[in-house]
Every structure is written in C-alpha cells, then in structure tokens.
Structure 1
Amino acid sequence: MTAPHGRALLHLAAAIDQQAAYDAASYVELTQLAERGALDFVTLGDSFARPGLDALAVLSRVAPATGRIGLVPTVTTTHTEPFHVQAAVATLDWVSRGRAGWHIDVSTTEGEARLFGRRHAAPADALWQEAGDVADVAARLWDSWEDDAEIRDETTGRFIDRDKLHYVDFEGATFSVKGPSIVPRPPQGHPVRVVDATEGHARRTAARYADVALVRVTGPAQARAVRAELRDAAAQFGRDPDGLRVLAALTVDLGDGEQAADPGHGGGGPRQTAQGPLYRGGPVDLAELIAAWHSADAVDGFHLTPVQPRRDLERLVNGTVALLQHRGLFRTFYPGSTLREHLGLARPVNQYAVAGGAS
C-alpha cells in the first residue's frame, strides 16, 4: 500500500511499558487501544537490571485479547539459552496466530551477570556478536521443521514426517545447538526480529539479522544517513535492503491539552536528552513532524514511547494517528493478519526445504 505521493505508507509502533504494573489488564487495555489505531505492533521492554514481569509471558497473555496488532517483547540473548529463547518466541507466534516479534537485546553489567553466576560481564562487541549468533540459530531452528512436517494421520499413527525435520548443527563462539526445534515452524516462518541499531556494536547485528531496526535520532538528515548505512550494510551481507524496515525511536510527551511543540521539539526534530530523543508538544505537531520525516524519505516509520502510557497513547491514537490517516499516510485498517503482512515483509522460504538438506 502506498501514500498519495507514491511512497509506502508509514509504519507506526508504540511501547506499552509501565512502571510497577503487575496486572495483565493494564497491558491488555493499552494494546487494545493501540490496535484501535491500527498500529503495526507494540513493544514491551524487559531487562535483568530491574524487577518486573517477564515481557514475553505478559504478551502471551495479551495475545488472546487482541486480534491483529503485532506483539514484540524484549528477550535478551545474554545469560539465556538460545534453544529456549527461539522456542518461546515461536510459541508466542503460534498463540497469537502469526503476530509475534522479538526485540533482541544484550545484558552488559556485572550485577546482571551475578544474578546467574555462570560468567562475568563481557564487552558490548562480544555480546552483540553472540546476539547475532542467537538470531542466526533461531532462524535455523524455526526452519528445522518444514511447513508440512506434521502429518497427523490417525489411520497410520504417524504424527511427523521425519524426513522433513532437520538438524541445524550450529557451532558458535559461545554455544552450539544440534536441533531440531521442539516447536513446529511458526506461522510467520520467522517471527519478526527487532534490534535497536542506534549504537555501533548493535548496528552490524541489525543489518545482518533484523527485520526492523530502531534508531534514536533527532532529525531527518541524521535518520536518512543511518537508514542508508543500514541498508548498504544489509546489501553487503547478501540481503535485500527492502527487507529491512528502519523506524525512528522517539519518546513522546503529549501533555494534557493541544499545544504547540516546545522549542526544539517540533518542526526540525525532537530534543536530545540523556534518555534519547524527546518530543514534547501536542498530537497535531507530532503528526506534522512524522509527515515531514516521511516526506523526506528519512525513515520507514516511527516507534513511539509514551511518557505517560495511558494518557499519551490515547492522544497518539485519537489525535496524531487520526490525522495521519486523514492525510492518507497511515492505514485505517489491517489488510492482513500477521505482523509480517503489516510490515510488508515476505514470509521467509524454509532454508532446509529449498536446499533439500538431509536431516
């Protein structure tokens, strides 16, 4: 689908993080609100550095209460078992009927390492190299079941065609995995992989493995340069650059009433803070900012983190999104049912089925 000026429609996503929220109802409510705005997906952060609910488990609870919107929890690749991680993400894809994503992150501090007691903290470049290995082996394990591997033939008692299950035999620097997975191939083939590509160490991993790259930038020129760098790097890794969506990540404070953007927040871009780019203003000026960046071909869309989740997400959906829909820049309904369809990404071909690899 394309906008009136010929460019592809915007992609929009929102964070539903809340401080000290331990009830499922609040996350369901926020996700349903985002779904009413036809947002591509919501994210829910997670970390070993702070107490809180498990993001993947929370979104598994949200899945049956929603029908179309993508669900993207943060799951770290440090101190966790790659085999378990890929199985959990695949399970979310099954229970959501093809709406799962995975925000890949790493754990860098010695305090977090002590929670597990297995190893010390490692440098960021090594952790992101490992994260790339986990993303790689996850894709292999998702493909270790061909789509028609399940027979379910009651007359013969055959459940699986064993010729369509494959060993992945992965050997990385910090782990090895034989496979196959214990979960059948997910509905999307590969759940959508998301990486914050702002920092240099993560950017290489994003270019090689991510379907969606988030970048924290303060202006369209900077965004355009980072997007071009990511697309070029993806091509060097043998990927089709059009298979990578680059979203600008902004924190938004939409206030309690319509107001002009604070100086430095509207028009040319948001203000840089210690926590990243911050937009403070009303929904109308935010819509203008988003439209201007889109018109400049700076990014493929935006990932927005509300300062006050309930208030700002409601103003985002009823104000900013409604204005963008009115201008023909954003969808008014979901034309498909999976997160890959929302993002305009093809379902990956099974690498083992194509290669005809032996199990």
Structure 2
Amino acid sequence: MVSAQLHLSAAIDGAGHHPAAWRVSAVEPAALFTSGHYLRHAKLAEAASLDFVTLDDSFALQPGGADVVRGRLDALLTLAAIAPVTRGIGLVPTVTTTHTEPFHVSTSVATLDYASRGRAGVLVKPSLSDAEAAHFGRRPAPSPEDAAAENADVLDVITRLWDSWEDDAIIRDAATGRFIDRDKLHYVDFEGRFFSVKGPSITPRPPQGHPVTFAYDGPADVLLTGERVPGAKAIEPITVLLAPTEEAAHERKRVLDDLHPWQPEGRSFVGTPSRLAEELLGGDVDGYLIRPAVLPDDLALFTAETVPALRAAGAFRSEYAGTTLREHLGLGVAANQYQGA
C-alpha cells in the first residue's frame, strides 16, 4: 500500500485527444456540438469519483487540416449547462485571458461555481496568435512574455473580484429594505500594465470563495494556484491509449496514426490499464490529467480498470469525501482578503 493519494482528472474534449479519434469513435460527429455528449463523459468520470474534468477552448479553430474535428462549443457555457445535472465532479473549462475582460472572466466562473454548487475551476490560458487577435481588432498578439505577465494579472484580479463581496454581504433585511450591506462590498482598485479594474463584482462571492484556478507551467504541469507557490499542486497531463493487451493497444495506435500521423505533446502512454496504473504510481507529481486518445473507449477503460487498480494500491479514494472541488483537491478554505477591511 502507498500513502500518497493521487488526484485524477480527465479531459473530455471532442471525440478524444488523437486527431483521428472522430473517425474510429462510436460517437456521432454531430454529437460533439451537443451538451449531452459532454454530460455523458463527465458522468463517466464522476462515477469513478475523479476530481474534475476539463474542457479545452480557444479563439482559434483546431489545427491539423481538413481531416480533424474543426469547430468547438464555448467550454465555460457547456460546463455550465451540465453543472445542474452532475453532483460530484469538478468542472474546469479553459478560458482565454488575452482579449477577454478579467471582469467577465471573474463573473462567468463565479456563475459556474453557483451552477455547480461549488465545483468550478478555471484553466486560464493566453492567446499568442495574430489570427486570434484579428478576431477582435483591438490590439496585436502579445509577446510570450507579455502574455504570461497579463495572465498572472488576470489571476490576481479575478481573485480580488471574488473577494470583493464578503461572505455575509447579502442580508435580505425586508423590514428596512436593505438587500445587501454596502459596507461589505469592496473596490479592488487594480491598476496594471494591461488593464485597470475598479470593482466590486456584480456577482456575490462564489460558494467556494475562490473557484480553483489552474495555469500551465511549461508543457507538462498544471498548477492549482497558477503559480509555483507553497501549497501548489502539480497535475501532469498524460495522453492514454489503452487495450486489454499490449499488442492490441499498439495496433489501435497504428490504426489511428495511419489515419493521421501524430505525436502528442507532453507525456503519453500506450498499453494496458494495469500497466498504466503501475506507471502512475511511480510518478513524482500530485496527480494526472488523463487525456483519452479516443472517447469513450479510453476513458471507459481507465475508469473501469486503472482506477480500481490505483484504489487497490491505496493511491485513490473510493468515493467523494466532500462536495466541492477545493475539498476534492485538499485545498483549504479560501480566505477573503477584504474581510473586515
């Protein structure tokens, strides 16, 4: 038995992470543009008590040419649509921070936290392409350094805005006609290189206080706080292609690569569910974001066979111990920086 408890999550993008997934998946291509498709895979992850699912997004079409899935639904709106009919799984959309107002990011993610009853997170990602900048026409694409600096400012500001309402700001005093205590709403007064935000938010403080913020740190890590700070947890993405035998797994890969030659970014695994469990147990990160090569095939095998193997090794819980994403991830209560100010 091992003492460390892994955090496990799954990407539920399109027909799977491999560009040719839509050509072999049982999922009808038209289903990719329905909320029901993402609900089915979120519920599959939820049945295995995974911490959260992610849904990618961008202001650009998917790269790769005419033989890949092109077009996407808005990730945050899609997860908001399925939030009321899920019960335990965390919901983490990607939100592009470049060209997007931080105030809107803050209120939208806070709304997802209300819709999910405290299970929201957000993966903030900048945009670097001229094509995406041309959709807005307000400014050119930033340099990588400026994009990273702006992304950090966005993380700072959305947290300030979530805190701009104290937890007990809503008083609902019918006798005096006061719905809120205005002394418990706060200006954030942020002035930076890229934007300024006055505040307070128009949305009350989210159920979690701070929905969990994620940001990429290099090609391999996703950090829960968006920065390398004490208490941050590293979640490593890993693309998985599974089958009952090693030979069958490599044959699946051959078929997919014949349809569209592809080398996944970051870490990848091809093999059996049990061998994947052994590999995950030998890692030095806090957890993994599983990117199934094909949906639902690889997510189904992962939840049906890899997850039980990890439980048998004492590395993953058997059920949800809490109700919020912060509780799933073992994060403490989010203190309000303005409380009592």
TM-score bin, normalised by smaller chain: 0.7 to 0.9
Kept in 1: contact 2:236–2:289 (CA 8 A): yes
Query: Residue type matched to 1:150 in 2?
Result: I
Deviation at residue 199 of structure 1 after TM alignment:
4.8
Of 245, 267, 274, 1:284 maps to 274
C-alpha distance in structure 2 between counterparts of 1:258 and 1:311, whole Å = 14
Of 301, 319, 323, 1:333 maps to 319
1:112 counterpart residue number? 132
C-alpha distance in structure 2 between counterparts of 1:279 and 1:332, whole Å = 24
2:46 counterpart residue number? 35
C-alpha distance in structure 1 between counterparts of 2:225 and 2:189, whole Å = 27
C-alpha distance in structure 1 between counterparts of 2:205 and 2:300, whole Å = 36
SS state at 2:296 partner: helix
C-alpha distance in structure 2 between counterparts of 1:131 and 1:198, whole Å = 14
SS state at 2:33 partner: coil
C-alpha distance in structure 1 between counterparts of 2:241 and 2:272, whole Å = 8
SS state at 2:282 partner: helix
C-alpha distance in structure 2 between counterparts of 1:258 and 1:167, whole Å = 59
Deviation at residue 69 of structure 1 after TM alignment:
0.7
Kept in 1: contact 2:239–2:264 (CA 8 A): no
Deviation at residue 338 of structure 1 after TM alignment:
0.2
Structure 2's unaligned 5+ residue stretches are 16-28, 62-70, 254-261
Of 145, 149, 161, 1:141 maps to 161
Q: Deviations over 1:196-234 (max 9, x none)?
A: 11259xx8xx7xxx5256xxxxxxxxxxxxxxxx7xx52
Deviation at residue 6 of structure 1 after TM alignment:
3.1
Q: Deviations over 1:158-217 (max 9, x none)?
A: 1000000000000010100000000000011100001111259xx8xx7xxx5256xxxx
SS state at 1:12 partner: strand
1:48 counterpart residue number? 59
Kept in 2: contact 1:168–1:177 (CA 8 A): yes
Kept in 2: contact 1:149–1:164 (CA 8 A): yes
Deviation at residue 274 of structure 1 after TM alignment:
5.0
Does residue 123 of the first structure (1) align with residue 143 of the second (2)?
Answer: yes
Query: Residue type matched to 2:272 in 1?
Result: G
Does residue 299 of the first structure (1) align with residue 285 of the second (2)?
Answer: yes
2:26 counterpart residue number? none
SS state at 1:309 partner: coil
1:58 counterpart residue number? 78
1:254 counterpart residue number? 242
1:222 counterpart residue number? none
Kept in 2: contact 1:212–1:246 (CA 8 A): no
Of 229, 232, 254, 1:244 maps to 232
Kept in 1: contact 2:241–2:294 (CA 8 A): yes
2:120 counterpart residue number? 100
Deviation at residue 350 of structure 1 after TM alignment:
0.4
Greater relative CO, 1 or 2 (CA 8 Å, sep 6+):
2
Query: Residue type matched to 2:300 in 1?
Result: E
C-alpha distance in structure 2 between counterparts of 1:212 and 1:71, whole Å = 16
Give % identity.
51
Q: Deviations over 1:308-346 (max 9, x none)?
A: 020010000001001111222101100100000000001
What is the correspondence of 1:147-162 to structure 2 with a 5 Å cutoff? 147-162=167-182
Of 323, 326, 335, 2:309 maps to 323
Query: Residue type matched to 2:76 in 1?
Result: L
SS state at 2:319 partner: coil
C-alpha distance in structure 2 between counterparts of 1:163 and 1:312, whole Å = 52
Kept in 2: contact 1:212–1:247 (CA 8 A): no
What is the correspondence of 1:4-15 to structure 2 with a 5 Å cutoff? 4-7=1-4, 9-15=5-11
Structure 1's unaligned 5+ residue stretches are 214-229, 235-240, 266-271
C-alpha distance in structure 1 between counterparts of 2:85 and 2:245, whole Å = 31
SS state at 2:122 partner: strand
Deviation at residue 65 of structure 1 after TM alignment:
1.4
Deviation at residue 258 of structure 1 after TM alignment:
3.2
How large is the Cα RMSD of the aligned pairs? 1.9
Change (3 A) 1:129 1:303: same
Query: Residue type matched to 1:338 in 2?
Result: T
C-alpha distance in structure 2 between counterparts of 1:95 and 1:60, whole Å = 6
Q: How many residues align?
A: 306
1:226 counterpart residue number? none
2:328 counterpart residue number? 342
2:256 counterpart residue number? none
Q: Deviations over 1:13-48 (max 9, x none)?
A: 100000561011110000000001100000000001
2:64 counterpart residue number? none
1:170 counterpart residue number? 190
